[in-house]
Amino acid sequence: MSSRDTLTSIGAGLGSALLFLLVLTGNPLALLLSYFGHLPLFVIGLWRGPKSLLVAALAACAALLLLGGPLPFTVFLVVIAGPATMLTRVALVARADDSGKPVFIQPGVILAAMAVAVSVMMIVILATVAADGLDIQGVIAHFLSTMYSEMGVPLTPDVQQIIVMFQTYFPAIAALSWYLMVLVNVMIAQAILVRAAKNLRPTPSLASLSLPGWSLFAFALAGASIAFSDDNLAYIARNVAVVLAVPFLFQGLALVHGQAARWPQKRMILTVFYIVTVLSSWSFIAICGLGIVEHLIRLRGNQPMTRSNEEDR
């Protein structure tokens, strides 16, 4: 690695650390920008490779350890640097096919593995709370009530109803917000690099996304655990099932994109579809169900992508 590459990597790491620290300002705009703490790391990793990303991550962690102490360093390592490093490493693993062209790990495998990793982390955190003999929902309700009180929001019956609604799936909501923001950062980084012709791997097609077979087994296991558990165990299993359902959301979207590509009015069809999806409160369940059906019986078949599909790349 040249000195120029090293300096570029260090700069990316410091930029990531700065974005992460913006959350401490309390400013709403700064809080929004802090969600893009992964972006500099993904850009350098998907451009220069895992070694440059490792240098960037070490620079960011060192800066946070010196300036903020052990707590910011640990949170950054677990939430941003560690996942960015592992995800980039996996995304760039490739093998040569019979014609000598590189074949990368399919995005469906990465999405499913990420969901499992997030679920395991969530299980560990919630099991730690339950091991102390505490009711998990009670702890979360207290946390949400305290948060609203510190924000100056009166705990009216309507607010308490919102707290009750959120506490049911709060761990899954928190986990999925992180999961989706990681994906958003990856997609933005890849789009930037593709536009600059600096990407190391081609952008995968949503229309051809396919999940590994074990992803449905993991989801079914979590779902079955709800029926055979009670109290804290059922609560953990329910939230894990929600997280493990998300890859099937993308599988369902892949089916929709693949079918829409068969029509000349593809963009209009997809626009109407996403408007209805945003407006419907049941869209998440419906699209996940569609993804599970697609996973089981392969509605798309094994046909190669058409010219119109390539626009989804």
Question: For 83-110, what is each residue's pLDDT tens digit?
Answer: 999 999 999 988 887 777 888 898 999 9
Task: For residue 87, tell me if it sits in a domain.
Answer: no
Task: For residue 181, tell me if it sits in a domain.
Answer: yes
pTM score: 0.84
Task: For residue 40, tell me if it sits in a domain.
Answer: no
Task: For residue 292, tell me if it sits in a domain.
Answer: yes
What single-letter amino acid sits at 277? Answer: T
More confident call, 148 vs 174: 174
Which residues span the domain enclosing 259? 93-312
Task: For residue 177, tell me if it sits in a domain.
Answer: yes
Number of folded domains that form the chain: 1
Cα angle vertex 186, ends 113, 30, to 5°?
120
Task: For residue 49, tell me if it sits in a domain.
Answer: no
State residue 301's pLDDT score.
Answer: 62
* Average of per-residue pLDDT values in the chain: 86
State residue 262's pLDDT score.
Answer: 82
Residue range 264-273, pLDDT digits in tens = 888 898 899 8
Task: For residue 9, tell me if it sits in a domain.
Answer: no
More confident call, 162 vs 118: 118
Is the separation of the CB atoms in 201 and 46 below 8 Å?
yes
Task: For residue 42, tell me if it sits in a domain.
Answer: no
The pLDDT of 23-50, averaged and rounded, is 87
State residue 311's pLDDT score.
Answer: 42
- CA–CA distance from 271 to each of 14, 267, 277, 309 (Å)? 38, 6, 10, 16
What single-letter amino acid sits at 296? Answer: L
State residue 300's pLDDT score.
Answer: 67
State residue 307's pLDDT score.
Answer: 41
The answer for residues whose C-beta is within 8 angstroms of residue 113's C-beta and 6 or more apart is: 90
